[in-house]
Structures are given as structure tokens and as C-alpha cells.
Amino acid sequence: MRKNKDRLLIIFLTSLIGIVIITGGYFIWRQQEIITPIESYLNDHEQIKDYEIIERDTRDLKVVLEIEYTPFVNTFYQEIDEELSELAGEDELEIELADNKSSSLEEISYELNYLIWQYSHSGEYTKLLDKLDELEQEYALDHIQVHLSQDGFFVQIRDDNSYIWEIVEYPTGLGKDDLTDDNRS
């Protein structure tokens, strides 16, 4: 009876040690093959002021980037998204651009989200662009742009030292193939 308990204990401890080694090996591999290359890329990119990599799950990453405000940030975002997605491999990846919101810009953003929803449902994208010009003048904004991307409408608004950038998903039933090529900014 005692020998059986000793054997079970040895089997249990061996299994436990094996699991610890395999799990530790995975996390070391993940750090060297995924996290470190992402950190290296972000450190070398001149537009990135700061970043944070959040591991939400064993195969789910969120990267929060702090960058200088720049017009056409959608181009920067697409470049970063492509590169980091390649480095992340099969891991899920979410990229968030940290912004510097003010309450007045948030109100404008809500209004703009409604306009995007309204005009995208009716297909009147040129009217949406005209409304952007009106919003810029009405609120005396430094900059307002909406670009179309594969993920949705890429919105950026700037006023003084405050700025917002966000991706507004396409309304239900619309996709990128339903959009106009008008790219006024």
C-alpha cells in the first residue's frame, strides 16, 4: 500500500514539474518570439512617443500607442497594424491610439458619429464631407478628417492641445465596397 502511494506521489510530482516546464517554456518563447520583436519595432519607430503592451490572455494582445498628432494618422495606423499583426502571428491583436480628449471634442465626436451613421445609411458621402467642413467652421477646429478604412471610418479631430482619433465601425449592412472614392480632407 505504501509503495503505491509513493508511486502516485512520484507520478503526480513528475506531471506537475512537466506542466510547469512546458508552461514556462511557452511564456519564454512567447516573450522572445512575439513580445520582444513588437517592443523592438515600437522602440525604433520615430512617431511613437510611448506604448504599453497588455497581455489580456495567452493569445490576445492590446497595444496602446501614444504618438504625436499628425494629419493622415490613418496611414500611420494601417502601417503599424500590418507590421504588428505580422509580428503577433496568430495572436489576436488590438491597437489603440491614445488620445487627449476634452469634453468639447467628445461632444463633437458624438455629433460626428451620428452624422456618419446618418449619411452612410443614405449613401450621401459627399454631404457628410460638406458637414465636416461645417463642423470645422462652427466649432473653430484646428483639424477634422474622416477617412475610410477596411475597419470603418477613421475619425480624427483636433482643437488646441486636445485631439481624438477613433475608428467608427461601418453601420450594419454596409461594407467597404459600398463606399465612394471621394477623399476630401
- 40-59 pLDDT, tens digit per residue, is 999 999 889 999 999 887 77
What pTM was computed for the model?
0.71
The per-residue pLDDT for range 144-156, each reduced to its tens digit, is 988 887 778 888 9
Residue 93 exposure: Cα atoms within 13 Å on the Cβ side: 20
Angle at which helix 73-88 crosses helix 36-44, to 10 degrees, equals 150
pLDDT of the residue at 64: 93
Average pLDDT of the chain? Answer: 84
**pLDDT value at residue 66:** 92
pLDDT tens digits for 80-105? 999 999 988 888 888 999 988 888 89
Judged against a pLDDT cut of 70, whether residue 176 lies above it is answered with: no
pLDDT at 126 > cutoff 50: yes
Question: What backbone torsions phi and psi does residue 142 show, to the nearest 5 degrees?
Answer: -75, -35
Strand partners, 142: none
Q: How confident is the model at residue 167 (pLDDT cuts 50, 70, 90)?
A: confident
The predicted pLDDT at position 84 comes to 92
